[in-house]
Amino acid sequence: MNMSDILALFRKELPEILIGDRAVLGNLKDEDNHFIYRMENDELIGVSVINGNSVYLLLVDKHHQGQGIGTALLKESEEYIKAKGFNKVKLGVGKDYIIPGVPMNRNVHKFFEKQGYIHSWGDLGCIDLSLSLSDFIYNEHKIGDTIDGILYRFANPDDVDGIKSCCEEDSSDFIELYSDESMYTPNSSDPVIIAEKDGEILAALMIGTESEENGIGYGGCIITAPRHRNKGIATNLLKIGATRMKNMGLKTVWLSYTYTAIENTYKKLGFKVCMEYFMGEKDI
C-alpha cells in the first residue's frame, strides 16, 4: 500500500484537519499498522488503518460513498481486531493517533452510531482548537524569563525524569510522548518548554511546526502538576509558546486532542474550537 495515496485520500476527504503531512505519514508508516483497502481502476477509493484495537482512519472517497464500502471496511476491521484477541474497538486514539476520533462537523459519527459505537467520554467532548497569530499580541515575556519565581525555559535531556514525574501526577498517557529524546536536543524543531521552580518541573508544553507550507505550528500535551494548577502557569506556557511561533513567522497555532473541560483556558487566549470528535468505542 502506497502511503502517499492514503495521505492524498485523507486530504481530499478531511481538508479541515490541520495535522501536517509529516505527522500523518509518520503514523501511517508504523510497522504495527494493518491496512484494509478498496481499489478501482488502480485508484484507492477506501481504506481502514488499524493499529492494535484502534481504527486510526476509515476513509471512503466521496464519489463512492453510499455504496456500502464504509460498512464493509468497518466490518472487516472489527473481524480483524477480534481475531487478534481484542474485545473492544476504538475509533482514533490508541498507541498513537492520526486524528483523535471521528470528526463531527459532517455528522459522519452518525454512521458509526448506527454500527453500535458509543461516545466513550461521557459528558466530556474532545476538540481541536486553533489560534490566529495575526490576532495574538503578547510582549510581556519570552522563553528564558522568570515570572513570579518560576523559570520558563527549553527542556534539556537532564529534565526528562522530572517531566515524566510531572506526567505521572497529571496524565500518565503522555509519558511515552515526552520520552522522545529528539525533543531535548539543541535547536530541536519540536522542543519542550517547561516551568521550573527550585529544581522542580511544575508544567510542560510541546511546541513545533506542524505544517511549514501552511504556516501552522502546534502546541500539545500540556501538563501541570495538580498542586500547581490554577496559578496561571499553563497559561504562561501557552503565551510564551505562541509568541515563539509567531516570531518564527507561523500564522496559526493548532492544539489537538483537547477536552472541553479546559476549553475556557484556551479561549481566554483567543483559541477557537475548529473540530469536535466522536470518541467512539464498541464491544465486540
**pLDDT tens string 46-84:** 999 999 999 999 999 999 999 999 999 999 999 999 999
Q: Is residue 255 part of a domain?
A: no
Q: Is residue 210 part of a domain?
A: yes
- Sign of torsion, CA 151 152 157 159? positive
What's the pLDDT at 235?
92
Segment 30-43 mean pLDDT: 96
pLDDT band at 172 (very low <50, low <70, confident <90, very high): low
Q: Is residue 143 part of a domain?
A: yes
* 219, 255 contact by CB (below 8 A): yes
Give the integer Cα–Cα distance in Å for 28 and 114. 27
Give the integer Cα–Cα distance in Å for 125 and 109. 13
What's the domain count of the chain? Answer: 2
Query: In which domain, by residue range, is 240 found?
Result: 135-250
Q: Is residue 265 part of a domain?
A: no
My answer on whether 9 and 118 are in the same domain is yes
* 187, 202 contact by CB (below 8 A): no
My answer on whether 154 and 243 are in the same domain is yes
What's the pLDDT at 46?
98
My answer on whether 98 and 187 are in the same domain is no
Q: Is the pLDDT of residue 169 over 70?
A: yes
pTM of the complete model beyond 0.85 = yes
My answer on whether 197 and 121 are in the same domain is no
pLDDT band at 262 (very low <50, low <70, confident <90, very high): confident
What's the CATH number where 116 sits? 3.40.630.30
Residue 277: count of CB within 10 angstroms of its CB: 24
What's the pLDDT at 183?
94
With CA atoms as reference, report the closest residue to 278 among 130, 106, 139, 156.
106
**Gap between the terminal Cα atoms of the chain:** 27
Residues near 148 by Cβ (< 8 Å), separated by ≥ 6? Answer: none
